[in-house]
């Protein structure tokens, strides 16, 4: 009986009616056998058999009809009610569909009352949080202004050697090696051997260590210092002089997330909690819908760390497809032949996205379509796409059931995410909307008891047929 508790409500109701139908038909067959045995002597067996078979089909039709009505008016509305309440509770969107639940008596109005009370309490708390957030934003602006005037690049690193904070000068320096990213390993930018030797000396002495031979992974040399913080609080990397040409437009304000100070190993992503992972949510715009012959014209990507979108950490790259863009495709995404002229090819753009996604889970809406383009050019880019992948189409099916609509527009409407019309069907616009959807879904998955990446992928695979049909 324990296995029945793991089945969905609608499936359990279906099994109940299936049992009713089987038992009804079984009773008819038993009666038929007994009646047939008695009727053989009288020569009325054929009429008796016909009556029995007819009654069996009648019972079966009745069971199916009652099940359909029950499923349509009870089981499905209850599932919609549950997902609506979960969306309201964990994503701040959705609500009670009173029309769909009109045959559930007082259940829908009662659920709506609870939902409204929850939202009222949430709004009261939100007003308090908003005032504190405004104050913190002002403090951050002051901090950014102050750090921007300091003529050195600073990077705060946690004890697990992952980046927690970098300023605009550091962003310019790091970008010469690899896209700067929160929660990225510091060894994506510096040679591991010399860096760890310096770190060991700093930890042993408790004193700042200076370097003139600290070389980045691609041969760029940095004059830098390692400065210890409190015990267990990580350390600062201060770059006094970088022998690089840093373009002014590469400057960015301070980017940080102090939640990352509690660093942890990221070797086995599959066992990590969903909210502790780093995600790169991406989208591509293409010359057409055939991955084996069409080409990418635009790549957009957004990073999500600790369940939050990281401002400023994006990819927004036009790509020269090496072929003419059909007018019909331009009408959809707005990318013209003139716009991609002189832009990098997929070999450069694909490699940049791969660097941007180091150590992260890739997320896309209908990921097989976008990944087909990237994998076709993997050898040209000199990379292997071995990242774990989550698909928001499948996550939607996990949360809302396969009978709902799972387009990006439907998901955004369901979860209260707004895509500005001018950004719809642009790579970065769709990627950002998908990232917002993902952040809300993570809380909902947690409420469903889906805690780890392995668990999310296992549940998503149960609905893989949706993607097969879609593509």
236-267 per-position pLDDT tens digit: 998 876 554 444 444 456 788 888 887 776 66
Q: Which domain holds residue 246?
A: 150-256
If asked whether residues 208 and 290 sit together in one domain, one would say no
In a domain, 138, yes or no: no
pLDDT at 250: 44
Listed residues 226, 256, 286: the one ending a domain? 256
In a domain, 208, yes or no: yes
> Residue 163's closest CA among 143, 140, 187, 134?
187
pLDDT at 149: 55
DSSP letter string over 27-95?
HHHHHHHHHHHHHTTTT-HHHHHHHHHHHHHHHHHHHHHHHHHHIIIIIHHHHHHHHHHHHHHHHS---
> Residue 362's closest CA among 395, 385, 394?
385
In a domain, 99, yes or no: no
If asked whether residues 465 and 369 sit together in one domain, one would say yes
Question: For position 430, which CATH number holds?
Answer: 3.30.420.10
pLDDT at 225: 87
If asked whether residues 236 and 324 sit together in one domain, one would say no
* Total of domains in the chain: 3
Listed residues 224, 256, 288: the one ending a domain? 256
If asked whether residues 367 and 443 sit together in one domain, one would say yes
pLDDT at 51: 66
pLDDT at 5: 55
Report the pLDDT averaged over residues 422-445.
94
pLDDT at 270: 93
Pairing outcome for strands 221-228 and 209-215: antiparallel
CA distance 188 to 380: 22
> Residue 400's closest CA among 135, 151, 93?
93
pLDDT at 373: 97
Is the pLDDT confidence value at 182 over 90?
Answer: yes
Is the pLDDT confidence value at 381 over 70?
Answer: yes
DSSP letter string over 360-396?
SEEEETTHHHHHHHHHHTHHHHT------EEEHHHHH
Burial class (CB in 10 A: 0-12, 13-18, 19+), 464: middle
Is the pLDDT confidence value at 108 over 80?
Answer: no
pLDDT at 218: 56
Is the pLDDT confidence value at 154 over 50?
Answer: yes
If asked whether residues 377 and 445 sit together in one domain, one would say yes
pLDDT at 9: 62
Is the pLDDT confidence value at 382 over 50?
Answer: yes
Question: For position 162, which CATH number holds?
Answer: 3.30.450.20
Is the pLDDT confidence value at 4 over 60?
Answer: no
Question: What is the per-residue pLDDT across 323-359, written as a single tens digit (0 to 9) for each?
Answer: 999 999 999 999 999 999 999 999 999 999 999 999 9
Question: What is the per-residue pLDDT across 386-409, written as a single tens digit (0 to 9) for each?
Answer: 999 999 999 999 998 888 899 999
Report the pLDDT averaged over residues 89-112.
69
Q: Which pTM was predicted?
A: 0.76
Report the pLDDT averaged over residues 141-153.
64
The kind and range of the H/E element at 242 are: strand 235-242
If asked whether residues 314 and 445 sit together in one domain, one would say yes
Q: Decide if 264 contacts 276 (C-beta within 8 A).
A: yes
Q: Which two tokens stand for residue 137?
A: 């934003």
If asked whether residues 350 and 451 sit together in one domain, one would say yes
Name the average pLDDT for the chain. 83
pLDDT at 99: 72
If asked whether residues 299 and 212 sit together in one domain, one would say no
Contacts of 71 (CB under 8 A, 6+ apart): 10, 13, 14
In a domain, 246, yes or no: yes
If asked whether residues 67 and 161 sit together in one domain, one would say no
Three-class DSSP category at 150: coil
pLDDT at 214: 45
Least confident piece of the model among 137-141, 256-260, 434-438: 137-141
In a domain, 90, yes or no: no
In a domain, 112, yes or no: no
If asked whether residues 228 and 311 sit together in one domain, one would say no
In a domain, 139, yes or no: no
Listed residues 30, 64, 83: the one ending a domain? 83
Burial class (CB in 10 A: 0-12, 13-18, 19+), 289: exposed
Most confident of 12-16, 309-313, 372-376: 372-376
Sign of torsion, CA 454 457 462 468?
negative
Residue carrying structure tokens 């917002």:
436
If asked whether residues 449 and 348 sit together in one domain, one would say yes
Question: What is the per-residue pLDDT across 24-42, written as a single tens digit (0 to 9) for each?
Answer: 777 777 777 776 766 666 6
Burial class (CB in 10 A: 0-12, 13-18, 19+), 129: exposed
DSSP symbol at 325 = P
pLDDT bin (cut points 50, 70, 90) of residue 69 is confident
Question: What is the per-residue pLDDT across 77-96, written as a single tens digit (0 to 9) for each?
Answer: 888 888 877 777 777 676 66
Q: Which two tokens stand for residue 438?
A: 């993902």
């Amino acid at each position: 009986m324990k296995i029945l508790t793991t089945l969905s409500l609608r499936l359990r109701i279906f099994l109940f009616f299936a049992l009713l139908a089987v038992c009804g038909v079984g009773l008819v067959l038993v009666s038929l056998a007994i009646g047939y045995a008695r009727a053989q002597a009288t020569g009325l067996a054929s009429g008796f058999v016909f009556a029995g078979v007819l009654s069996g089909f009648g019972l079966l039709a009745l069971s199916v009809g009652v099940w359909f009505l029950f499923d349509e008016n009870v089981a499905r509305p209850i599932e919609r009610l549950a997902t609506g309440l979960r969306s309201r509770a964990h994503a701040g969107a959705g609500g009670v569909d009173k029309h769909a639940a009109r045959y559930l008596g007082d259940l829908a109005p009662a659920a709506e009352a609870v939902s409204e009370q929850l939202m009222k309490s949430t709004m009261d708390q939100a007003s308090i949080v908003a005032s504190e957030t405004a104050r913190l934003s002002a403090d951050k602006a002051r901090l950014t202004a102050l750090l921007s005037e300091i003529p050195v690049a600073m990077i705060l690193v946690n004890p697990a050697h992952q980046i927690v904070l970098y300023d605009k000068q550091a962003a310019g320096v790091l970008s010469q090696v690899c896209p700067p990213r929160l929660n990225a390993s510091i060894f994506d930018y510096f040679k591991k051997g010399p860096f760890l030797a310096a770190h060991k000396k700093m930890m042993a002495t408790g004193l700042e260590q200076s370097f003139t031979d600290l070389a980045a992974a691609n041969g760029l040399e940095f004059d830098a210092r390692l400065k210890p913080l409190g015990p267990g609080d990580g350390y600062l990397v201060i770059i006094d002089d970088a022998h690089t040409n840093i373009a002014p437009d590469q400057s960015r304000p301070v980017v940080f997330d102090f939640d990352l100070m509690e660093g942890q190993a990221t070797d086995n992503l599959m066992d990590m909690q969903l909210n502790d992972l780093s995600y790169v949510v991406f989208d591509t715009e293409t010359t057409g819908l055939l991955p084996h012959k069409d080409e990418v014209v635009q790549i957009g990507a957004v990073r999500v760390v600790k369940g939050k979108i990281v401002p400023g950490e994006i990819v927004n790259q036009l790509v020269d497809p090496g072929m003419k863009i059909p007018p019909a495709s331009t009408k959809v995404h707005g990318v013209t032949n003139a716009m991609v002229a002189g832009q990098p090819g997929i070999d450069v753009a694909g490699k940049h996205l791969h660097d941007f996604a180091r150590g992260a889970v890739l997320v896309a809406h209908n990921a097989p379509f976008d990944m087909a383009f990237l994998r076709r050019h993997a050898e040209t880019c000199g990379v292997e796409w071995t990242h774990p992948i989550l698909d928001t189409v499948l996550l939607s099916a996990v949360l809302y059931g396969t009978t709902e609509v799972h387009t990006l527009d439907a998901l955004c409407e369901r979860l209260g995410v707004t895509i500005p019309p001018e950004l719809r069907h642009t790579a970065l616009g769709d990627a950002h909307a998908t990232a917002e959807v993902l952040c809300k879904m993570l809380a909902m998955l947690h409420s469903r008891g889906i805690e780890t990446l392995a668990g999310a992928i296992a549940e998503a695979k149960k609905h893989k047929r949706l993607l097969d049909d879609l593509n």
